[in-house]
Amino acid sequence: MRLLGIETSCDETGIAIYDDEQGLLSHALYSQVKLHADYGGVVPELASRDHVRKIIPLIKQAMADADTTAEQLDGIAYTAGPGLVGALLVGACVGRSLAFAWDKPAVAVHHMEGHLLAPMLEEVPPPFPFVALLVSGGHTMLVQVDGIGQYQMLGESIDDAAGEAFDKTAKLMGLDYPGGPLLSRLAQQGHSGRFTFPRPMCDRPGLDFSFSGLKTFAANTIAAEDDSEQTRADIARAFEDAVVGTLAIKCRRALKQTGLNRLVVAGGVSANRHLRAELKVMMDKLNGEVFYPRNEFCTDNGAMIAYAGLQRLKAGETQPLAVKGQPRWPLDSLEKPGS
């Protein structure tokens, strides 16, 4: 079975062809970072318009790279939510229209299910069950995963997601957009221990996250200190230490609560080297395993959508002609494929 996957939930247009016997045949990605850099963040209307411009050329490119024709496809998967509604509708309309024109079934995919299943694209995929930490610019959540579509929400952010807090703190420090990776790079030059930032919501039971207060703490520290490069690096290090420490503490709690010893980490922040090092130390102590997607599949991409869609198409799930984008769509509202 071979699927075309389309991802347009935010500011990256991702297209991929995935075959359940041959694996990933091609993937193409266009990032809108330069488009939004002047505004310091994603402008939804500009994002939607750029998806319109790029999506068809990228589909043609991915089809050519995979040496695949429309006749060889068994279906089309597209991201239906959550995300920016205009961006979602571009991918949904194109995906559903191509499926109709080519007489193929269409599958609507949950964006976070795509991220959650992205490590399944690797040579050594994680076996079920496991705890998943989904951590990106828009989401931070812990999920118990017993199988595809079998998700129990353990905890989530009640305000800013971790990636969002990274970007906003980077902006406070005068770093360019997107600031999260630049802040992490600056933190590598910082000295740990000069500043100590709080680990929010770790002094109480539970697995929810809150990073808005940490961002405010960083803002106050920046305002109170000198603007030397070393001070900036030390503040960046303290901020990253706090985020990574908080994520690690909550992951440990989730593993203890569920009795599991496998952890999957996915989403844009999962590429953070400090986070990976911290979780490796933690999982080694717990005699457990931690799994990640490769770096290029940590951020939004079409490959994860094609894979997730294929699993649901195999179980007989298809979408009617009506096109629907869901800006908000709880992950734990999904059902097991075929149920």
CATH code linked to domain 2-117+297-333:
3.30.420.40
What CA–CA distance (Å, rounded) separates 84 from 232? 33
| Residue extents of the structural domains in the chain | 2-117+297-333, 128-292
Q: Report yes or no: 76 and 322 within 8 Å, Cβ to Cβ.
A: no
pLDDT at 338 over 80: no
Span 287-310, mean pLDDT?
97
Q: Give the burial string for 16-40 (b: 16+ CB within 10 Å, else e).
A: bbbbeeeebbbbbbbbbeeebeeee
Strands, sheet with 289-291, edge to edge from the N-terminal-most edge strand: 150-156, 140-147, 130-135, 262-266, 289-291
CB atoms within 10 A of CB 148: 20
- Residues of the chain with pLDDT > 70, as a percent, come to 100
pLDDT at 339 over 80: no
Q: Kindly tell me the sign of the dihedral angle through the C-alpha atoms of 16, 17, 21, 22.
A: negative
Question: Same CATH fold, 128-292 and 2-117+297-333?
Answer: yes
CATH T-level assignment (fold) for domain 128-292: Nucleotidyltransferase; domain 5 (3.30.420)
Is 110 known to sit in a ligand binding site? no
Q: Report yes or no: 146 and 128 within 8 Å, Cβ to Cβ.
A: yes
- Indicate the SS3 state at residue 233: helix
What CA–CA distance (Å, rounded) separates 175 from 179? 6
pLDDT digits 0-9 by tens, 195-237: 999 999 999 999 999 999 999 999 999 999 999 999 999 999 9
What CA–CA distance (Å, rounded) separates 273 from 285? 19
Is 268 known to sit in a ligand binding site? no
What CA–CA distance (Å, rounded) separates 308 from 300? 13
Span 178-184, mean pLDDT?
94
**Partners of 3 in beta bridges:** 18, 75
Provide the mean pLDDT of the chain: 96
Is 135 known to sit in a ligand binding site? yes
Q: Kindly tell me the sign of the dihedral angle through the C-alpha atoms of 261, 265, 269, 275.
A: positive
Q: Binning pLDDT at 50, 70 and 90, where does residue 289 land?
A: very high
Is 51 known to sit in a ligand binding site? no
Q: What is the pLDDT of residue 23?
A: 97
Is 134 known to sit in a ligand binding site? yes
Q: Binning pLDDT at 50, 70 and 90, where does residue 137 land?
A: confident
User: Higher pLDDT residue, 3 or 324?
Assistant: 3
Nearest partner of 112 among 141, 152, 146, 150, judged by Cα: 141
Is 138 known to sit in a ligand binding site? yes
What CA–CA distance (Å, rounded) separates 309 from 15? 13
Give the global pTM: 0.95
Is 38 known to sit in a ligand binding site? no
- Hey, which bits of 32-138 come out as E strands? 75-81, 106-110, 130-135
pLDDT at 157 over 90: yes
pLDDT at 129 over 80: yes
Span 181-193, mean pLDDT?
96
What CA–CA distance (Å, rounded) separates 260 from 304? 24
